[in-house]
Amino acid sequence: MEHRKVRKLKGAGIELNCVDYGGEGGPPILLVHGGAAHARWWDFVAPALTGRFHVLALDQRGHGDSPWTGPWAYGSRHYAADLEAVIDGWGLGAPVLVGHSMGGHSVMACAVEHSDRLRAMVAIDSIPTYPEHAVAALSAIADRPASVYESLHDAVASFRLLPAETLAPPEILRHVAELSFRQRADGKWVHKMDRLILRREPVQLDGVLERIRCPALLIKAALSPVLAASLARAMAARMAHGRMIQLENSNHHVPIDNPSGLVAAMSPFLAEVVDGAPLK
């Protein structure tokens, strides 16, 4: 695939894995995956952005090739603190933060506290408040033992999305699935995700969205039940420079459901951010 290398970035007391897709010299854009995913979910989005941006994608703590924490430390405050530490220490300047689902929640939480350190933010099918029943359901999944597989073939065959609905073609699903497992010393295969990340302790952002002062784009996936269009419009209206658009032909898993559509949907907003055009 296109030019790509691995970097290590300093989070909040933890060293995080980061995929660097290239575009050095351009303004930085940091892509933040959703819960139970990993940086390589952006493989079909990132290359299209390198002509204008230096594009990087982060494995959030407990995901992908980033470390797991000993004591549980997977709340929204931990993810947002990692983003703050990465931006403070990477020497690339103020980024555009782009987050999908839980990653979008992390991005919004960071923007609430540190809009002055961001060039802009994009949240993709992300909600500001996690319902109690959703937090409880995810915690119940976290308490189940992790599955162990005899081969990568068996692991990939078991791969499922949550929610299950997707328009992603089989080759994209296989790509992200093959990168979602690691082989243990005993030869068995396990998911790279620490199951304890499913014990969510989200920051509830409903009452503080007006503190997001940087340019902000909210993207609602047309076929997704996660974020209602009316809520997305209301969220954008509360931000100083917020706007909302709906992306057609996508369920919740936007970076793999409709990667080219996502790039097209973000492009006008990102062009304004880079060119410094007045925000409407």
Phi/psi for 63 (5° steps) reads: -125, 155
Helix 76-89 and helix 102-114: axis angle, to 10°?
60
Asked if the model's pLDDT at residue 280 lies above 50, the reply is no
* pLDDT tens sequence across 62-83: 999 999 998 999 999 999 999 9
Mean local confidence (pLDDT), 123-139: 93
Mean local confidence (pLDDT), 174-181: 98
Give residues with Cβ within 8 angstroms of 235, minimum separation 6: 128, 209, 218, 242, 244
pLDDT tier at 275 (50, 70, 90 boundaries)?
Answer: confident
Q: Is 40 helix (H, G, I), strand (E, B) or coil?
A: helix
pLDDT tier at 143 (50, 70, 90 boundaries)?
Answer: confident
Return the pLDDT at 1: 46
CATH of domain 5-128+200-275: 3.40.50.1820
Return the pLDDT at 2: 55
Distance CA 171, CA 39 (A): 17
The alpha carbon dihedral of 73, 79, 81, 83 has a sign of positive
Q: Is 204 helix (H, G, I), strand (E, B) or coil?
A: coil
Asked if residues 62 and 74 have their Cβ atoms less than 8 Å apart, the reply is yes
Asked if the model's pLDDT at residue 43 lies above 60, the reply is yes
Return the pLDDT at 4: 86
Asked if the model's pLDDT at residue 181 lies above 50, the reply is yes
Closest CA to 168 of 280, 28, 44: 44
Distance CA 32, CA 41 (A): 9
Closest CA to 254 of 29, 81, 45: 45
pLDDT tier at 3 (50, 70, 90 boundaries)?
Answer: low
Mean local confidence (pLDDT), 131-155: 93
Q: What is the DSSP letter of 60?
A: -
Q: Which residue has the tokens 């994209």?
A: 172
Asked if residues 224 and 232 have their Cβ atoms less than 8 Å apart, the reply is no
Q: What's the pTM value of the predicted model, to 2 decimals?
A: 0.96
Return the pLDDT at 279: 41
Asked if residues 122 and 266 have their Cβ atoms less than 8 Å apart, the reply is yes
Return the pLDDT at 149: 98
Asked if the model's pLDDT at residue 210 lies above 80, the reply is yes
Asked if the model's pLDDT at residue 41 lies above 70, the reply is yes
Phi/psi for 217 (5° steps) reads: -120, 130
Angle value at C-alpha 69, between 18 and 86, nearest 5 degrees: 35
- What are the structure tokens assigned to 119, written together? 């060039």
Q: What is the DSSP letter of 43?
A: T
Mean pLDDT of the chain: 95
pLDDT tier at 224 (50, 70, 90 boundaries)?
Answer: very high
User: How much of the chain exceeds pLDDT 70, in percent?
Assistant: 97
Distance CA 223, CA 199 (A): 26
Helix (H) or strand (E) holding 57: strand 54-58
Mean local confidence (pLDDT), 10-36: 97
